[in-house]
Amino acid sequence: MLQKDIRFREGLNACIDCGTCTAICPAAQFYDYDPRIITDTVQTRDNNKIEELLKSDTIWYCGECLSCKTRCPRGNTPGYIIQALRALSVETGLFAESEKGRQQLAIKRTVGESILKFGYCVYIDDVDTQMYPEQGPVWDWLKNNREKILERTGANYKGNGSGTLRLTPEESLVDLKKIFDATGASQRFEIIEKYSKEKAKQLGIPFGKGKDNEYFESVYEGGIEDE
């Protein structure tokens, strides 16, 4: 199944297990993460080991910066391999077996749905200090006064034409949805919802739409533990 993914075929030539990718990897500085081991593992073609990767947090640590691509002496790109593994993990539903994998639901229901609803990955109306406490109390004041503040900064908040935070025309939102449909993103969203719902049922956690339900909140905060 991995061999069908062009990113996997382009990303793996012949790993010599040198560790250069790990040395340059920003994520390896913060997580127990070693792209060298991932690359070496997939080239063994050991299905059991690859399945364990698909169920693990490990494949979700990569930031996809592709620093590894610039340094590998054999022309491998571990970042591409990671992308292929992530796609397969979602397709098979195995993403729901790890904490970081389950957070794909949170990404889908925040960033993904924001793109389709507003035309922006992150939109000021959807950012609040309950979900994003790192914004601090100043953010509440900013949101309460956003029209006046954004006007002073030169933004075109909910206005027509050009400018930051401008209103995205309905025809553009329709085109975005068509792009999601054509590229398989819409189907991936459905798969994430399907397997997330099954996992919630397995764990006995209430599951619902949007952000106001126990499963989403647990996934978002990374607080679910398997039985």
Domains and CATH numbers, the chain: 2-92 (1.10.1060.10)
pLDDT attached to residue 226: 55
Question: What confidence score (pLDDT) does residue 182 get?
Answer: 98
Residues with Cβ within 8 Å of residue 19, at least 6 apart in sequence: 36
Contact 205, 214 (CB under 8 A): yes
The pLDDT assigned to 207 comes to 95
pLDDT at residue 150, rounded to an integer? 93
pLDDT at 47: 95
Q: Could you tell me which residues come within 8 angstroms of residue 112 by beta carbon, excluding any fewer than 6 positions away?
A: 185, 189
Positive/negative CA dihedral, 208, 214, 220, 223? negative
Residue 81 makes CB contacts below 8 A (sequence gap 6+) with 7, 8, 11, 12, 38, 39, 42
Query: What pLDDT, on the 0 to 100 scale, is given for residue 79?
Result: 95
Burial letters 62-89, b for 16+ CB under 10 A, else e? beeeebbbeebeeebbbbbbbbbbbbbb
The letter for the amino acid at 123 is Y
The pLDDT assigned to 225 comes to 63
- pLDDT-flagged residues of the chain (< 50): 227
